[in-house]
C-alpha cells in the first residue's frame, strides 16, 4: 500500500519497540551528529548527554563518521559507569562494510565507546560492498556478543527489499532515515512497508535541524498545549507506530523539551492542524538524506 492512508498509529502508552533479539529500544533518545568535532567542547557535550540520560532519554545514537570517532569518545565519557542503563546505537562507514573491515571498525567503535557491546549497529548508507558480505560480518559480530542487533540507515524501499532478500536479511532490526514534519516523503511507501514488517524506523534530524520550529501552525499547536514547538514536533513523530526519534541538543533546557514529547498527547484537531501546516506526500519522492 502507498500513501499516508496506510500509516498505523502507535498504541497508547507504548514507549519502546521490539527488536529481533527481543531487546526493547526506547522510542525517544539523543543524537550526536556534530559532537566530538572540537576537543574543547567534548566535556560539555558529555555532560549534556549524561543529563539527557538523567531526564529519561536512555537511547544514544552515534557513528564512527561523527567527528571521525570523536562523537563515540564523547558518548563513552557520558556513559562511563552507567552502561547498563543505556541503549547504544552506532554506525559503520560504507567503506568499512566488508567482512573483515566491518569487524575491525566495530572493535574500534567499542574501544572508543568504552563498552563490550553495541545494542544496535547500522550500515550508515549504501556503498559498493555486497549486502551479503556486510550481513555476514554483522552476524559474526552478533554471534561474538559484540553487538545485539543490526540494521541499516538511509535505505529507501527498493534498497530495503534488496537487503531483506539476502540470506539473514530478515534479522534486520531498524532503518534510520531522515524524517520530520518537514520531510515526510517516507510516508508514501517506505514507512508503511516497514510498519507492515514490524521494522522500526529511526528518525534522524526529527526537528528539521531547527528550521521547522518557527512554523506558525506548529507554534499554534504548541501554544494550545503550553509546550515548546520541539515537543510537539517530536510527539507528532511518536504517534507513528514503530518510529523512534533521535533529536540532538547540548542544552539541558532543550533536552527537557524533548523529554516532554513522551507525555504529550496530540488530539485529532492537533494532527489536522499539523497536516495543514506540513502536508503529507501525494507521490513518491526521493529519500531525504543529510
Cell numbers given for 176: 534510520
Q: CB of 110 within 8 A of CB of 141?
A: no
> Minimal CA–CA distance to 204: which of 103, 97, 65?
65
| 217 alpha carbon, distance to own chain's centre | 25
Q: Tell me if residue 96 falls in helix, strand or coil.
A: helix
- Rounded Cα distance between 79 and 217, Å, is 38
pLDDT of residue 1: 44
Quick one: average pLDDT of 235-255?
A: 96
In the annotation, is 66 catalytic?
Answer: yes
pLDDT of residue 6: 63
- Rounded Cα distance between 194 and 280, Å, is 18
pLDDT of residue 3: 52
**Average model confidence (pLDDT) for the chain?**
96
pLDDT of residue 240: 97
Cell numbers given for 124: 550508515
Residues 6 or more apart whose CB falls under 8 angstroms from that of 31 comprise 61, 204, 246, 247, 248
Q: CB of 112 within 8 A of CB of 35?
A: no
Quick one: average pLDDT of 7-23?
A: 92
The model's confidence at residue 45, banded by pLDDT at 50, 70 and 90, is very high
The model's confidence at residue 13, banded by pLDDT at 50, 70 and 90, is confident
pLDDT of residue 4: 56
- Tens of pLDDT, residue by residue over 108-167, are 999 999 999 999 999 999 999 999 999 999 999 999 999 999 999 999 999 999 999 999
Cell numbers given for 215: 512554523
- Tens of pLDDT, residue by residue over 157-210, are 999 999 999 999 999 999 999 999 999 999 999 999 999 999 999 999 999 999
Q: Cell 540507515 sits at which residue?
A: 153
Please tell me which residue in 66, 121, 179, 204 is annotated as part of the active site: 66
Q: CB of 190 within 8 A of CB of 160?
A: yes
Quick one: average pLDDT of 42-52?
A: 96
Q: Per-residue pLDDT for 234 more than 50?
A: yes
The full set of domains in the chain, from first to last, is 24-209+242-256 (3.20.20.100)
pLDDT of residue 12: 83
Helices (H), the chain: 42-55, 70-79, 99-113, 131-143, 157-164, 190-196, 216-225, 229-237, 252-259, 268-277
Q: Cell 526521493 sits at which residue?
A: 286
Pairing assessment for the beta strands 24-26 and 16-18 based on DSSP bridges: antiparallel
Amino acid at each position: 500500500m502507498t500513501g499516508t492512508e496506510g500509516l498505523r498509529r502507535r498504541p497508547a502508552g507504548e514507549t519502546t519497540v521490539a527488536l529481533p533479539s527481543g531487546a526493547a529500544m526506547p522510542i525517544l533518545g539523543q543524537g550526536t551528529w556534530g559532537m566530538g568535532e572540537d576537543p574543547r567542547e567534548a566535556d560539555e557535550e558529555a555532560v549534556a548527554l549524561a543529563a539527557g540520560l538523567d531526564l529519561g532519554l536512555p537511547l544514544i545514537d552515534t557513528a564512527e563518521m561523527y567527528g571521525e570517532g570523536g562523537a563515540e569518545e564523547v558518548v563513552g565519557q557520558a556513559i562511563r559507569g552507567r552502561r547498563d542503563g543505556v541503549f547504544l546505537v552506532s554506525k559503520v562507514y560504507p567503506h568499512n562494510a566488508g567482512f573483515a573491515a566491518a569487524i575491525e571498525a566495530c572493535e574500534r567503535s567499542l574501544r572508543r565507546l568504552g563498552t563490550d557491546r553495541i545494542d544496535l549497529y547500522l550500515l550508515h548508507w549504501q556503498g559498493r560492498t555486497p549486502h551479503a558480505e556486510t550481513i555476514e560480518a554483522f552476524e559474526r559480530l552478533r554471534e561474538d556478543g559484540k553487538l545485539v542487533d543490526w540494521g541499516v540507515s538511509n535505505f529507501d524501499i527498493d534498497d530495503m527489499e534488496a537487503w531483506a532478500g539476502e540470506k539473514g536479511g530478515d534479522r534486520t532490526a531498524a532503518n534510520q532515515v531522515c524524517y520530520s514534519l518537514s520531510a515526510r516523503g517516507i510516508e508514501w511507501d517506505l514507512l508503511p512497508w516497514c510498519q507492515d514488517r514490524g521494522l522500526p524506523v529511526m528518525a534522524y534530524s526529527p526537528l528539521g535541524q531547527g528550521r521547522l520550529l518557527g512554523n506558525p501552525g506548529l507554534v499554534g499547536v504548541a501554544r494550545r498545549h503550553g509546550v515548546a514547538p520541539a515537543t510537539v514536533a517530536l510527539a507528532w513523530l511518536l504517534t507513528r507506530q514503530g518510529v523512534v526519534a533521535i533529536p540532538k541538543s547540548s542544552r539541558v533546557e532543550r533536552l527537557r523539551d524533548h523529554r516532554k514529547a513522551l507525555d504529550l498527547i496530540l488530539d485529532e484537531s492537533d494532527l489536522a492542524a499539523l497536516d495543514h501546516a506540513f502536508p503529507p506526500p501525494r507521490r513518491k519522492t526521493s529519500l531525504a538524506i543529510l
